[in-house]
């Protein structure tokens, strides 16, 4: 079973609402078996057309199933309401090494 990475790009639309999500996230994420590998507001874009991405987050899970279990858990879905109200989020699951 290979590890899975979750990569999310974020564009804020209501930063105060997103901040409610961000404040609740650590307690909900604890015990998920995952790890946040990187999180950057105002990431430095190196190439490509100009992007309006304001934050990028990279998380690692032991498997794709573990990532799905966390992202679909009742506790995460509850706080994700603030995430979705506060930002446009695009995310991917990638196979990790």
Residue 97: the pLDDT is: 82
Residue 96: the pLDDT is: 85
Residue 1: the pLDDT is: 66
Residue 76: the pLDDT is: 98
- 3-state secondary structure (DSSP) of residue 77: helix
Selection from 6, 74, 1 nearest residue 34 by Cα = 6
User: Which positions ≥6 away from 14 have C-beta within 8 Å?
Assistant: 85, 86, 87
What string of pLDDT tens digits covers the 97 residues of the chain? Answer: 689 999 999 999 999 999 999 999 999 999 999 999 999 999 999 999 999 999 999 999 999 999 999 999 999 999 999 999 999 999 999 998 8
Q: How far apart are CA 76 and CA 7, in angstroms?
A: 16
If one counts every other C-beta atom within 10 angstroms of the C-beta of residue 29, the result is 17
- 3-state secondary structure (DSSP) of residue 20: helix
Residue 82: the pLDDT is: 98
Residue 43: the pLDDT is: 94
Is this prediction's pTM over 0.95? no
If one counts every other C-beta atom within 10 angstroms of the C-beta of residue 75, the result is 14
CB-CB contact of 56 with 10 (8 Å): yes
């Amino acid at each position: 079973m290979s590890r899975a990475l979750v990569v999310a790009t974020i564009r804020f639309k209501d930063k105060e609402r997103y901040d409610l999500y961000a404040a609740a996230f650590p307690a909900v994420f604890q015990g998920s078996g995952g790890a946040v590998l990187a999180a950057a507001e105002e990431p430095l874009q190196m190439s490509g057309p100009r992007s309006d991405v304001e934050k990028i987050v990279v998380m690692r899970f032991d498997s794709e199933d573990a990532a799905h279990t966390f992202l679909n858990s009742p506790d995460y879905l509850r706080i994700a309401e603030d995430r979705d109200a506060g930002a446009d989020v695009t995310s991917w699951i990638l196979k990790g090494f």
